[in-house]
Structure 1
Amino acid sequence: MIPTLLRVLGSEYSRPVRRTVALMAAAAILEGLSYALLVPVLRALLGDTPADAVPWLVAFGAAVAVYAVLRYLGDLSGFLAGTTLLRGMYHRLGDHLARLPVGWYSAGRVGEVSVLASQGVLRAMGVIAHLLAPLVSAAVTPLAIVAVLLAFDWRLGLAALVAVPLVAAVQARTGRSMAAADAERAERDQEATGRVIEYLQVQPVLRVGGRAAERFRLLDDSLRGLQRASRRSALSALPGVLGLALTVQAVFTVLLVLGTYLALGGGIGAAELLAILVLAARCADPLLSLSDLGGQLRAARTELERLEKILNTEPLPEAAEPVRPERHDLSFDSITFRQSDRTVLDGVSLSVPEGRRLAVVGPSGAGKTSLLQVLARFFDVDAGAVRVGGVDVRAIGTEVLMARIAIVFQDVYLFDGTIEENVRLGRYGADDAQVRAAAAAARLDEVVERLPDGWKTNVGEGGALLSGGERQRVSIARALLKDAPIVLLDEVTSALDPVNEAAVHAGIERLMAGRTVVMVAHRLRTVQRADRVLFLEQGRIVAEGSHDDLLRRGGPYAGFWQVSMTSVAGE
C-alpha cells in the first residue's frame, strides 16, 4: 500500500510521506517498548517495598510522554502532508494530463478522469491524513510488543510470534476474496450511475413514447444488481473479519493459559503475569482494527492503482531539439494510421500549398476527422510523416505546433464562464479592441447585443445556455482571435438553422482568408469554396482534384455530390 502511494506521489511529493511514516513508526515502537516498564512497576507494587516503583513509574511516564509527543507530531504531519499533497497531487495529475495527446481523451476516459479527479484523489490522499496512523500502529506496535515478550520470556514470545503469520495469512486471504467482489460492486455502481443519468436525460423522449415505466424497470434492475453486489461484497468480507477475530482471541487465550501455567509453576510471578495480560490485550487492539481498515485501504488502493495507471501513460515524445517551421504548407507522405487494430488511414499522400484550401469529403468512417487529428498531432501516425512547412510534426514542439493551428470542431465545447472569457481563450493578453474585432468578424456581436448581460453572459457548463449556432460563433471568434496561419475545420454548419448557418459561413470565410485550410465537409456545398477536393474512402484517396473537374470525371465523388444535392433539395 505505502510503496504504491509513494510511486503515485513521485519523488517530488513523497518526502513528507516518508517523514510522516518515520514519525508514526517511531511512536508505535516506543508505545510497544514502553509496556516493558510495566513489569518492574508491577513487581515493585506487588512486592514488599512498593516505594521502589516510583523510579519505574517516572520512567514509564516519561516514555508515555515522549510517545504522546511523537504520536502528536506524526498525526499532525499526516494531516498537513495529506492536505498539502492533495494540492500537489492535483498539480501532478493536471500537468501529466496536459502532456497526454488530445486523442487519448475518449468519451470513456474523460468520465473516468473526472471521477478520479473528484473522488479518487480525495480518497487516495485521505490515506495519509486518516488511515496511515492506524495502519502503522496496527503493523508496528504488535511487533514491538512481541519483541518485549521475547526479551522477557522466550516461551511467551514464541507463542505471541505465532500470531504474526496467521494474521498476515488471514488478511491476504481476505484481500484476495474481496478483490472480485469489490470490482463487481464498482462495476455495478458505475452501471447504476449511468442508468440514473440516462433516465434523467431521456425523460422527454420516454414520456412522448409512453415508455417511462419500462425505463424505470431498467433502472430498478441496475439498482437491484448494485444491491446484490453490495451484499456479496459484505458477505465475502465476513470470513476475514471472523477469522481475524478468532485468531487474535486464540492467541490471547494461549498467552493467558501459558502465562498462568508458568506462574503456577514458579517460572514467573504474579506481577509478570499481569504485565503479560496487559501486553496481550494491547497487542490485540490494533490487530482487530485491521478489519475496519481493510475495506478502506482496498478502496484507496484501487484509486491509487488507477492514478498510477494514468500517470504511467506515456505522452507523445517531444523532440530533443524542436524545429520551428518557417512556412505553413502541409504535406502527408504515405501516412498510415491505426486505431484499435483498425487501419483508419492507409498510405495517404497529399500536399496543401501555403494559403490554399483543401476540402476532405467521403462517407462516414472514411478517416476524414482522423486526417485532421494526425495533422494537429492528436495522435502520431504509424508510418509515413505529416509535415508542416516541410518539418515533421514530431520534430516541432507541441506549443509551437498548436500556436500555428486554429481548430473549429462540429461539436463546440465552451467553459463555464462568460462569453468574453471563452473568446479570450484564443489568445491571452488580447486587448478589448482585438476581442471585439474577432467577435464582429464571427458575427458574435449580434448575439452579444441581444443578450441582457452582453459580454458578461454566462454560457453554462459546455455552453449549455447558448444555442448551437451561438456556440459556433463563439468558437469561430476564438479561432479568429488566435490568428493562426493554419485552420482546420470539421464541418461546422452541419446541424445549424439557415440563419445561424449563414452567419457561421460568413465568419468561416473571414477565418479562412489568407490561411492554409483543411476542412472536412459533410455538407458538400462547402467544398465549392475549396481550391482542391479530396475524396476519402476506407482510409484511402480515391479521387482528387477541383470540384468541377471531379464532377466532370464522374466516379464516387460525383455520385456523392448528387446524393448530397438530392438531400438538400428534399429539405
Structure 2
Amino acid sequence: MIDRALRLVPDEYASLTPRLITVTAAQALSQAAAYCLLVPVLEALFDGDTGMAWFWTAIMAVVVAVMGVLTFLQATLGLRIAVGMQLGLQTRLGDKLNALPLGWFETQNAAQLSRIVVDNVREIQGAVAYLTAKLITSVLVPLGVAVGMLFVDWRIAVAMLIAAPVLFAVNRLGNRAFLRADERTHVAAAEAETRVVEFAQAQPILRAFGAVGSGNRALDCALEAQKKAATRNVVSAVTGVIVFGLVVQAVFLALTYVVVGQVTGGTVSAAAAIALIAVSARFIEPLNQAAQIGNALRSASASVDGASDLLAEPVLPEHDSPVALGAPEVVFESVSFGYDAESPVVSDVSFTVAPGTTTAIVGPSGAGKTTLLRLVARYADVDSGSIRVGGHDVRTQPTETLLNQLSLVFQNVYLFDRSIAENIRVGRPDASDADIRWAGAIARVDEIADRLPDGYDSPVGEGGTTLSGGERQRVSIARALLKDAPIVLLDEATSALDPHSEAVVIRGIHELTKDKTVIVVAHRLATIAHADQILFLDGGRIVEHGTHDELLALGSRYAGFWNERARSRGWRLDSAPA
C-alpha cells in the first residue's frame, strides 16, 4: 500500500519523499543505538569504573542529540509533504474530474466522489507523511537493537531476530480479516452517506408519500448495514490487537528467560542483564506499535485505492492544436453509440443542421433523443461514424473550442450554492454586472431578483433549492444568453411548469435561439411545427425525416405522434357520475 500511496505524492514534493525515508531510517537507527549503549553504561557503573561510565554516557548523549535533530527534520519534512500533498492531490483529482467525459458523471455517486476528494485525501496525506515514518521506525528500531546485541551476546541477538518476523507474521494474519471488514465498512459508509443526502434533499416527496421515519426503508437499510459493517470491523480489529498483544507479551517473557539464563550461566553480568531486560522492552515496544500502525495503514489502503482508481479513469483524447472554425453547422455521419457494447443507444444516424436553422428531434421515451444532444457536446465519443461542429470533428477540437460554440439548456438544471448573479456569470466569467442584468431581463430573472431581499446577490441554495423549477430554467437560459454561442442544444423542460412560468421560459428560449443553429429535443407542438426539419427517432434510428407538413402528409409515425399530442392538450378530469 505504501508504494501506491507514494505514487500519489505531487511531483513538486516527490523529491522530499526519499529524504523523509532517509532521515527516518537514520533517526530509527540512532534510537536503536541509544538503547544499546545502555548496556555498557550500566556495566561500567556496576563495576565502579566511573571514567568508562562517563565515556559511554557522553557517546549516548551525542547519539541522543543526533536523534533529536533527525526527529526535528523528520517532522518538518513530514509536515511539508502533508501540506503539499493535500493541496496537490486535491488539485490533481480536480483536474482529473475536469478532464473526464461529461457522460461519466451521470453514473457516479456524488457522496462517494466527495469522500474521495476530501476524506480519502486526508487519510492518504497522513499515511504518506506520518504513518510511513512510524512504520519504518517500527521495523528498523528492533532490527537495530537486535544487531547491536550481537556485540553483547549472540544468543540474545538471535532470539530477537527470530522474534521479530514471528510477530510480523502474526500481525499480518490478523490484518487480513480486518482489511476485508474495513472494505465492507467503506462501502457501507458511502451508501449511508448517499441515502442521508437523498433523505435531506427529497423531504417533500418523502413526506408526501409517508416515506419518513420507519417508512424510509432505503435509509434504514443503509444505516443498519453501516452499523453491522462497523461492528464487524471493530471485532476484527480488537481480536487482532488482543492476539498480537498476547504474542508480544509471550515474546518479551521468552527474551527475559534467555537473558536470565545467560546470567545464571555466567555469560552475562547482572548489570548487563538489567540493561538487556530494559533494552528488550524497548525492542518490543516498536513491534507492538506496528500493529496499531498496520491498522491505520489498512484503513488508508481503501482511500489510496479510491483515489488511484479515480486517477486511472480513462479520459477522452484531447487535441490542443487550434482549428479554424467554419460556419455553425452540425453534421452527423453514420453515428452509432452505446453506453456498453451489447446495448446500442443510437445506430447509423446521419443528418445535417444547417447554420441558422432549427432541427427538432421527436420520438418515444428511450429513443436516444437526449443522447444525440450530448454526443454533440462530446459527453462521450461515438463508437463509429463522426460528428462535425463548425466544420471539424468534435474529437479533433480542443474541448474549450468545442464548448465555446455551444450553449446547453437541458432538462435537469443545476445551480450552484451561490448568488443569482454568480450563477448567470457561469455563462461568461468576465461578464459585467450590466451584462448579467441584460441577460436576466430577457430571461425574466429580474422578476425573481425583485422579490428577493438581496436582488441578484441573493443565494439560491444548493442545487437552486430556493427557486422553483421554472425559475431555475430562467437562470439557465440567462446564462446561455450571456454566453451567446452560435449553436444551441436545447432539451425543452416546460412540460412540468405552470402556464405563467412556461410562457416566460418560452419567451426566453425564443430570444436565445434567434439567428442561432438549434437542435432541440421537442416536447411542445409549436416548437415542432416551426422547426426547419424534424427527425423522428425510434429505437436509436431515424425512421422519418422532413418538415412538419411533409411528415403529416406521410401519415405514418410522426402523424400519429402529432395527433396524440394534439389530443392530450385537451385532456381534462371529468367528475365521476353520481
Q: Say whether the fold is shared (TM-score over 0.5).
A: yes
Aligned pairs for 1:177-196 (under 5 A) are: 177-196=177-196
Residue aligned with 2:150, SS: helix
Paired with 1:320 and 1:207, the residues of 2 have a C-alpha distance of: 51
C-alpha distance 452-228 of structure 1, shift in aligned 2 (>3 A): closer
Asked if 1:70 is matched to 2:70, the reply is yes
> Which amino acid in 2 is paired with 1:406?
S
Residue 179 of structure 2 contacts residue 299 of structure 2 at CA under 8 Å; is this kept in 1? no
In structure 1, what is the equivalent of residue 431 of structure 2?
A: 430
Give the drift of 1:193.
3.7
Q: Deviations over 1:387-439 (max 9, x none)?
A: 11331111100111111111011111111111111111111222233222222
1:269 aligns to 2:269 (yes or no): yes
Q: CA deviation at 1:314?
A: 2.1
How do 1:21-36 residues align onto structure 2 when only pairs under 5 Å count? 21-36=21-36
Q: Residue type of the partner of 1:369? A: T
Measure how far apart 1:491 and its partner are. 1.5
1:83-98 alignment to 2 at 5 Å?
Answer: 83-98=83-98
Q: 1:79 touches 1:128 (CA, 8 Å); kept in 2?
A: no
Does the residue aligned with 1:334 lie in a helix, a strand or coil? strand
Q: Which residue of 2 aligns with 1:329?
A: 329
Counterpart residue type for residue 259 of structure 2: G
The 3-state SS of whatever aligns with 2:490 is: strand
- Alpha carbons 2:358, 2:533 under 8 Å: kept: yes
Asked if structure 1 preserves the Cα contact closer than 8 Å seen for 2:2 and 2:128, the reply is no
Q: How does 1:103-142 map to 2 (within 5 A)?
A: 103-142=103-142
1:85 partner amino acid: M
Question: Tell me, what secondary structure is at the counterpart of 1:46?
Answer: helix
Secondary structure of 1:522's aligned partner: coil
Using the TM superposition, name which of 512-521 and 123-132 deviates more.
123-132
| Corresponding letter in the other structure for 1:287 | L
Aligned pairs (5 A) from 1:321-470: 321-340=321-340, 341-470=342-471
Does residue 234 of structure 2 align to residue 234 of structure 1? yes
Equivalents in 2 of 1:482, 1:389: separation in Å? 17
Paired letter, 2:23: L
Cα-to-partner distance string for 1:354-411 (whole Å, 9 max, x where unaligned)? 1111111111111111111111111001111111133111110011111111101111
Structure 1 CA distance, aligned partners of 2:48 and 2:447? 100
Write the distance in 2 (CA, Å) between the matches of 1:218 and 1:103.
26
Look up the match of 2:476. Answer: 475
1:152 matches 2:152: yes
Aligned pairs for 1:449-528 within 5 A: 449-528=450-529
In structure 2, how many angstroms separate the alpha carbons of the residues matched to 1:410 and 1:207?
Answer: 25
Answering whether residue 53 of structure 2 is matched by residue 46 of structure 1, we say no
* Contact 1:324-1:396 within 8 A present in 2 as well: no
> Aligned pair in 2 of structure 1 residues 93, 153: CA closer, same or farther (>3 Å)?
same
- Distance (Å, rounded) in 2 between the aligned partners of 1:181 and 1:242: 17
TM superposition score normalised by structure 1: 0.94
The separation in 2 between residues aligned to 1:20 and 1:228, in whole angstroms, is 39
- Matched residue, 1:569: 570
SS at match of 2:28: helix
State which drifts further: 182-191 or 476-485: 182-191
Q: Which range moved further: 408-417 or 518-527?
A: 518-527
One-letter code aligned to 2:508: G
Residues 542 and 416 from structure 1, CA distance in 2 versus in 1: closer, same or farther, beyond 3 angstroms? Answer: same
Deviations 1:5-62 (A, max 9, x none): 1112243332333332332222112101222222221121111323321011011011
The answer on 1:543 being equivalent to 2:553 is: no
Q: Structure 1: how far apart are the matches of 2:263 and 2:547?
A: 104
2:168 aligned counterpart, secondary structure? helix
**What is the SS of the residue equivalent to 1:289?**
helix
> 2: distance between equivalents of 1:140 and 1:85?
26
Residue pair 2:41, 2:56 contacting (<8 A) in 1 also: yes
Native 8 Å contact 2:10 2:88 kept in 1: no
- Shifted more, 141-150 versus 213-222: the winner is 213-222
The aligned counterpart of 2:246 is 246
| Equivalent position amino acid for 1:162 in 2 | I
Distance in 1 (CA, whole Å) between partners of 2:232 and 2:474 is 53
Q: Distance in 1 between matches of 2:13 and 2:308?
A: 14
Does the 8 Å CA contact 1:75/1:133 hold for their aligned counterparts? no
Partner of 1:557: 558
Q: Indicate the larger mover: 306-315 or 293-302.
A: 293-302
Deviations 1:515-538 (A, max 9, x none): 111111233432123111111111
**CA contact under 8 A between 1:79 and 1:129: conserved in structure 2?**
yes
Deviation at 1:305, TM superposition (A): 0.9
SS in 1 for 2:408: strand
List gaps (5 residues or longer) in structure 2: 573-578
Distance change (3 Å), C-alpha of 1:394 and 1:204: closer
Which amino acid letter does the alignment assign opposite residue 254 of structure 2? V
Q: CA deviation at 1:206?
A: 5.2
Would you say the 8 A contact 1:408–1:479 is kept in 2?
yes
- The SS at the match of 2:544 is strand
CA contact (8 A) 1:7 1:308 kept: no
Give the corresponding residue for 1:283.
283
Does the 8 Å contact 2:417/2:460 carry over to 1?
A: yes
Summarize the Cα distance change of 1:217–1:99 in structure 2 as closer, same or farther, 3 Å threshold: closer
Cα separation, 2, equivalents of 1:426 and 1:542:
36
Query: Deviating runs (4+, > 6 A) in structure 1?
Result: none
Q: 1:435 to 1:200 in 2, by over 3 A?
A: closer
Is the contact between residue 359 and residue 527 of structure 1 (CA under 8 Å) also seen in structure 2? Answer: yes
Contact 1:330 1:389 in 2 (8 A): yes
Letter in 2 for 1:397: P
Task: Report the Cα offset of residue 302 of structure 1.
Answer: 0.6
1:292 counterpart residue number: 292
What letter is aligned with 2:533? R
Distance 2:541 2:301 in 1: 46
Q: Distance in 1 between matches of 2:210 and 2:397?
A: 56
Structure 1 position 446, deviation (Å): 2.6
- TM-score where L is the length of structure 2: 0.93
Task: Classify 1:208/1:112 alpha carbon distance in 2 versus 1 (closer, same or farther; 3 Å).
Answer: closer
Letter aligned with residue 232 of structure 1: R
Matched residue SS, 2:503: helix
Equivalent residue letter for 2:336:
T
RMSD: 2.1
Change (3 A) 1:291 1:264: same
CA contact (8 A) 2:13 2:84 kept: no
- Shift of the alpha carbon at 1:204? 4.8
Q: Cα–Cα, structure 1 residues 263 and 195, in superposed 2: closer, same or farther, change >3 Å? A: same
- Once residues 478 and 137 of structure 2 are traced to their aligned partners in structure 1, the CA distance between those partners, rounded to angstroms, is 59
CA–CA distance in structure 2, aligned partners of residues 479 and 316 of structure 1: 25
CA distance in 2, matches of 1:326, 1:404: 11
Q: Would you say the 8 A contact 1:163–1:248 is kept in 2?
A: no
CA distance in 1, matches of 2:91, 2:425: 24
Q: Which moved more, 1:534-543 or 1:217-226?
A: 217-226
Against the structure 1 CA distance between its residues 435 and 234, is the aligned structure 2 distance closer, same or farther, given a 3 Å change threshold? closer
Once the two structures are overlaid, the 10-residue window that deviates more, 243-252 or 82-91, is: 243-252
Change over 3 Å in CA distance of 1:199–1:407 after alignment to 2: closer
* 1:336 partner amino acid: S
- Paired with 1:213 and 1:116, the residues of 2 have a C-alpha distance of 29
- Distance in 1 of aligned mates of 2:266 and 2:100: 72
Deviation at 1:161, TM superposition (A): 1.1
SS of structure 1 residue aligned to 2:355:
coil
User: CA separation of 1:204/1:126 partners in 2, compared to 1, >3 Å: closer, same or farther?
Assistant: same
